[in-house]
A and B are shown apart, each in its own frame.
Chain A
Amino acid sequence: AQSVTQLGSHVSVSEGALVLLRCNYSSSVPPYLFWYVQYPNQGLQLLLKYTSAATLVKGINGFEAEFKKSETSFHLTKPSAHMSDAAEYFCAVTSSGGSYIPTFGRGTSLIVHP
């Protein structure tokens, strides 16, 4: 079985500050990990994904995430927040060991203050 935990349902930062959104997973087999972003009234879109290549993954809009197997984490970061980054962010995990059922975290709402 696999699961995803996103720490903090809301994260608030000032414009220009570091963004850190936390994601921890559990999986009995090597995982595939994803971060998606959802802007208001839209579907989700892929920010970045880890599929067992480089552990530091760069995505769109200046976001990146680092896969740390020892910590079972895949935290999302961005050095400097923009107002346009305000959105809901979802971490997801899937694996090759079971059926095709990606598991999503409950989401973290990023609030950016001027």
Chain B
Amino acid sequence: EAQVTQNPRYLITVTGKKLTVTCSQNMNHEYMSWYRQDPGLGLRQIYYSMNVEVTDKGDVPEGYKVSRKEKRNFPLILESPSPNQTSLYFCTSSVGFTGELFFGEGSRLTVL
């Protein structure tokens, strides 16, 4: 089954404690990205990757890091989380920029 898998699905952490949200896709897609979803703001792109070792900033990259060492994986790293990073995070993959985005089920992060 084609899917994008994120972990963890739910996480409560404290300010400053580094965390990583993993993302893996099994569709051999080149394009992957991370979004955050906040009430009233819709989805905003954090980072995207067009291929292995090729990443670039989206609209709201501050406070986040990513890496793309393998085609299937695209982890999101919060080096020093802050409360304003409390949000619902989605990883996506697609064949190309005009293609359908496949979404993971989301990771709900709370930073206290």
Contacts and interface: CB of A to CB of B under 8 A. Distances in A.
Interface of A: 9, 32, 34, 36, 41-46, 49, 51, 90, 92, 94, 96, 99-102, 104-107
A53 B50 CA distance: 25
A24 B44 CA distance: 18
B48 A101 contact: yes
A46 B58 contact: no
A49 B59 CA distance: 23
Contact of A104 (B43, B48, B105): B43
Interface residues of B, number: 25
A106 B41 contact: yes
Given A99-B56, A101-B59, A90 B42 contact: yes
Contact of B101 (A42, A44, A51, A107): A44
Interface in B54-105: 56, 58-59, 90, 96-98, 100-101, 103-105
Given A43-B90, A100-B48, A107 B42 contact: yes
Contact of B97 (A41, A45, A46, A94): A94
A13 to B, nearest CB: 21
A105 B98 contact: no
